Amino acid sequence: MPLHTVEPQRLYRQIAEQLRALVSAGEFEVGHRLPAERDLAVQLGVSRPSVREALIALEVEGMIEVRTGSGIYVRATAAEATKGRASHGAGSGHHIDEAPLDWGPLEVIQARGLIEPEAAALAAERATRADITAIAAGLKHMRQQAQRGEVPREGDEAFHLAIAHASGNGVLLDTLQRYWHARHGPLFERLGDYFESPESWQIALTEHAAILAAIKARDPRQARHTMQRHLRMALRRYSANWR
């Protein structure tokens, strides 16, 4: 039998698999509350963001349920969650394998925090008038969506990818497009349900306006700083306590 390449598994998937196995073994019974996120992180020897990604993945599968102000409860065994997804059809449930990419949402934001500030600095040096117009249009679209009470994700994506385009570096643009492709997965959507709000988006709009102002001023240092701050604050918002 030929050997196959061993693929490294995402950390949040490893955590999810451990929790899934504990439920299957009866360690955590259906209807019972799981330990708090902080306690799980200590017991597993991993970061809280990694545990959060695993819990979100298991909730997307239908295995656990987050009850605001109460805790995280086992909703079904792995077999029951799988059976439930099958009986409801492909259109009504998600499995973590259905995400466009299996990257953890918080890992993606961390990676963006390393790359996008440099893209913003390059954009401040290289952006054409058309680039500036496209970045501003993305911000305008965000504002319009927010005013209509919509989650302004389309405008957000247009804003950030316009900056990547303005950097003049095709590799940076391709890389960031992949990050945004992952942004459309069910894990990201569920995370947003918990940690995005009209108030948080208004703060984000102010952060975006500061980035645009720095690029328009042709100030690479300020563009880098404002983008770093925005993504640092975004990570903090997604890492806040459960509402």
Q: Which of 66, 98, 130 is the last residue of a domain?
A: 98
Q: pTM for the complete prediction? A: 0.80
Q: Which of 67, 82, 98 is the last residue of a domain?
A: 98
Residue pLDDT, tens place only, 69-111:
788 999 987 666 655 554 444 444 444 444 456 788 888 999 9
Same domain for 117 and 176?
yes
- pLDDT for position 243: 57
**Burial call 12-22: b when 16+ CB within 10 Å, e when fewer:** bbebbeebbee
* Residue 6 lies inside a defined structural domain of this protein: no
* Residue 138 lies inside a defined structural domain of this protein: yes
Same domain for 129 and 188?
yes
Q: How far is CA 45 from the centre of its chain?
A: 22
- pLDDT for position 8: 52
**Burial call 28-40: b when 16+ CB within 10 Å, e when fewer:** beeeeebeebeeb
Same domain for 73 and 113?
no
- Binned at pLDDT 50, 70 and 90, residue 205 comes out as very high
CATH code, domain with 128: 1.20.120.530
The larger pLDDT score, comparing residue 76 to residue 226, is at: 226
Q: Which of 98, 116, 144 is the last residue of a domain?
A: 98
Same domain for 138 and 230?
yes
Number of domains composing the chain: 2
CATH code, domain with 68: 1.10.10.10
The larger pLDDT score, comparing residue 243 to residue 69, is at: 69
* Residue 2 lies inside a defined structural domain of this protein: no
* Residue 4 lies inside a defined structural domain of this protein: no
Same domain for 27 and 116?
no
- Mean pLDDT check: name the lowest of 40-54, 206-220, 224-238: 40-54
Whether 230 contacts 207, CB under 8 Å: yes
Same domain for 124 and 61?
no
- pLDDT for position 73: 93
* Residue 1 lies inside a defined structural domain of this protein: no
Same domain for 87 and 116?
no
pLDDT (mean) for 192-215: 94
Supply the range of the domain harboring residue 30.
Answer: 11-98
- pLDDT for position 50: 87
Same domain for 189 and 228?
yes
SS3 7: coil
Q: How far is CA 43 from the centre of its chain?
A: 24
Residue pLDDT, tens place only, 121-178:
999 999 999 999 999 999 999 999 999 999 999 999 999 999 999 999 999 999 999 9
Whether 103 contacts 182, CB under 8 Å: yes
* Residue 3 lies inside a defined structural domain of this protein: no
Same domain for 34 and 110?
no
Same domain for 213 and 131?
yes
**Secondary element (H or E) of residue 20:** helix 11-24
CA neighbor of 52 nearest in space, from 19, 83, 84: 19
